[in-house]
Structure 1
Amino acid sequence: MQALVYTKDKELPKLQQVEVPLPAPKDNEILIKVEASCLNNAEISKFRDLITAGKNILPLGLTNETKPKANGKILGTDVAGVVVDVGSKVTKFKKGDQVFGITGYFYDAWAEYSCLAEKNAALKPSNLSFEESAAIPTTGGTALAALRKAAIKPKQKVLVNGATGGVGLFVLQMAKNAGAYVTAVCSTKNIELVKKYGANEVVDYQQEDVTAQHLKDKYDVIIVINGYHPISDYQRILRYSGHLVIIGGKFSQTVSAILLGPLMTLGRKKQIGATSLIALRGNWMSDLAEMAEKKQIQPYLDHVFSWNEIDQALEYAVKEHTKGKVAIKIGDDK
């Protein structure tokens, strides 16, 4: 089968389209013919420095070599496709099922075929395309982890900082579904988008500081995606018994939330912490599938590329301030 394999050649990142062996599913896995995937930061970050430096995108090195280097890895983690084989212990899926899900350890999605653990897959929502379905697992799962950590209740005031990215748009929708009054932070050009996805109010960060003093003690829950303000700034606008959840962003910010959060809230009912996809337990993929089927969440696709345009897709993701997700159609016929 064909796959997009990542290697480093003299410390330069390289992506090669090569022939690799067809994987065989383990007892608890399904093998799918991959129809679509999506870009995530795990992949984009590998090429960001090269692209930002203004070097020709061709060093990505799309070739047709017959085999990858020994240290090569197939990139990608979000997938949607059709089941072609199942392991001996699989009970939820059968051949021909249309599914979506997440591969293991952020690798193995950008290939014509990929294996998924049964627990990390769900039936594809009937109302979504393969590309839309592939946009859900990583970012939708991260949003779900944040919502569960924040324990949002009806009528609470929720602030979503970083509202137009893949995670942010899912957080908006999930918070709205929970009955919250949601304020989204975005730029001027994205105000209509966040309103469409559930925002009751909008803070335009180009016009106003989201942590301004006059907003003191305003929010019951603050969810920050890839933020840059110090934790103390967010704490000021958080109500006495509020929750602050950090997702991504500066490493120092995440560390502060995990290590210093408990100290910063001593003697108070405030809770400060960080979360990610790995915090999820149980049938979270099935939960996301049900939300999508009921039209409680709707992925936003900023752009769709063929996997033969993967170099363009990566450059677009690095250079443009993308909204939602960038999808990749997988296969030679795409």
Structure 2
Amino acid sequence: MTSHVVPHTQQAIVQSHYGAVRDVLALSEVVPVRAPGPREVQVHVRAAAVNPIDWQMIEGNRRLIARRRFPFTPLFDLAGVVTAVGDQVTSFRLGDRVHADNEIDGGGASEYVNVSVELLAHAPAGLDFAESAALPLAAQIAMTCLDRGQVAAGTRVAVIGASGGVGHLAVQMARAAGAFVVGVSSARNQEFVRSMGADEVIDRNETDVSSSFGADSFDVVIDCVGGREQWIQAQRVLRPGGRFVTIARDEDGVVTLASAVQLASTIAARRLRGAGPRGTKYIPVFLKASGALLRRVNELVDDGRVRVHLSRSFPLTLEGVNAAIDESRAGRATGKLVLQR
């Protein structure tokens, strides 16, 4: 393997403060390249992915939950090549192709970033860097939804938002588990959702789950869209003891003290209502990323049971990041938005 010379400084897209994305991101030519800590791996970033949490954090919509220290290099999903390892790292070597959801420190918009060994996994052999970068956050959330929903062979599952980044992976994972899967999406994405393995697809603009299916039709509803109406619809179709698993809040706005209190109250009330063996279980999912969870995802990818769909690829430049975030915000992407060098 040809030796890779790591520079002392690098180019990186840096956030200086909270605000509108195009106002607060800038290209810096002199960001230090830091040697990895004892339990860290230094990665030469070759691709990254954009998720809604990226621009929500940049704008400060989530600062009450997780404050950001500036300057900060955004984008959590990344893939690249190992260029250095900490002295306590034994599972990765120079030249390894890797990917991760670097859930606290970001760094996907840099040339080099240090990632905790606990978050990192070897990239699937059959994927390129862009596909590898598209997987970590969305796929780990999808896997967590299946775990929390106890999806197994014979389970009947409805996935709301089945064409999105998390949804299209959840459909495939549920099918791989042996579940019967109904995908809910817009009409223009119905064929795509079928191609992901959904047994049936319904147009969410023409009907809803409860109008298309009667009571006791599903064991699990996985909500990738959010909104109170999803919870209401799910209660009408879930069997006694059924599980409503959601990755979104009722209102996807700025998190304030008042909204945080309201969210906590809503979760508590819905959980209380679902108490008992016949109650509808309300299960909000908050991802805790890990290399172990990502390796479970990679096993499905390596076996050919899950594939990640790239909606569009952008250059990993300042303008590319701005354009990818604009498209993410529009909410029309099918699958994942990625950036690559």
Task: Output the TM-score relative to the length of structure 1.
Answer: 0.86
Residue 20 of structure 1 corresponds to: 31
Contact 1:246 1:257 in 2 (8 A): no
Report the Cα distance in structure 2 between the residues aligned to 1:324 and 1:257, rounded to whole angstroms: 30
Q: What pairs with 1:88-127 in structure 2 (closer than 5 Å)?
A: 88-105=87-104, 107-127=106-126
Secondary structure of 1:174's counterpart equals: helix
Question: Which residue of structure 2 aligns with residue 61 of structure 1?
Answer: none
Q: Which runs of 4+ in 1 moved over 6 A?
A: 9-12
Matches within 5 A, 1:145-224: 145-212=144-211, 215-224=214-223
Equivalences for residues 220-235 of structure 1 within 5 A: 220-228=219-227, 229=229, 231-235=231-235
- Counterpart amino acid of 2:16? T
Q: Is the 8 A contact 1:173 1:297 kept in 2?
A: yes
What do residues 32-78 of structure 1 show as CA deviations (whole Å, max 9, x unaligned)? 100000001122335789xxxxxxxxxxxxxxxxxxxx832100111
1:260 maps to 2:269:
yes
Q: Distance in 2 between matches of 1:10 and 1:212?
A: 41
Change (3 A) 1:14 1:293: same
Higher deviation after alignment, 234-243 or 89-98: 234-243
Counterparts of 2:308 and 2:90, CA distance in 1: 28
Decide whether the 8 Å contact of 1:247 with 1:276 is kept in 2.
yes
Asked if the contact 1:27–1:88 (Cα under 8 Å) also holds between the matched residues in 2, the reply is yes
The structural deviation recorded for 1:262 is: 2.3
> Deviation of residue 271 (structure 1)?
2.0
Give the Cα–Cα distance (whole angstroms) in 2 for the partners of residues 273 and 250 of structure 1. Answer: 13
> In the alignment, what sits opposite 1:7?
16
1:262-303 CA distance string (max 9 Å, x none): 21123443322111212x667112112222111221111100
Q: Which amino acid aligns with 2:287?
A: L
For residues 207 and 11 of structure 1, do their structure 2 counterparts lie closer, same or farther at Cα, with a shift above 3 Å needed? closer
Distance 1:285 1:241 in 2: 29
Any conservation in 2 of the 1:30–1:115 contact (CA below 8 Å)?
yes
Task: Report the equivalent of 2:242.
Answer: 242
How much is the aligned-residue C-alpha RMSD, in angstroms?
2.3
Native 8 Å contact 1:225 1:246 kept in 2: yes
CA distance in 2, matches of 1:250, 1:290: 33
Q: Give structure 1 stretches of 5+ with no counterpart.
A: 50-69
What residue in structure 2 maps to residue 44 of structure 1? Answer: 55
Of 102-111 and 130-139, the range deviating more from structure 2? 102-111
> What does residue 129 of structure 1 align with?
128
SS at match of 1:109: coil
* Residue 103 (structure 1) shift: 1.3
Structure 2: which 5+ residue stretches go unaligned?
A: 1-9, 61-68, 252-258
Residue 314 of structure 2 is aligned to residue 305 of structure 1: yes
Change (3 A) 1:182 1:75: same
Number of the residue aligned with 1:277: 287
- 1:114 partner letter: V
TM-score of the pair, normalised by structure 2: 0.84
Tell me if the contact between 2:85 and 2:93 (Cα under 8 Å) persists in the aligned partners.
Answer: yes
Compared CA separation, residues 214 and 294, structure 1 to 2 (3 A): closer
Report the secondary structure of 1:8's partner residue. coil
Identity %: 29
2:193, 2:330 → 1: CA distance? 22
Instruction: Tell me by how many angstroms 1:241 deviates.
Output: 2.4
Instruction: Name the structure 1 match of 2:254.
Output: none
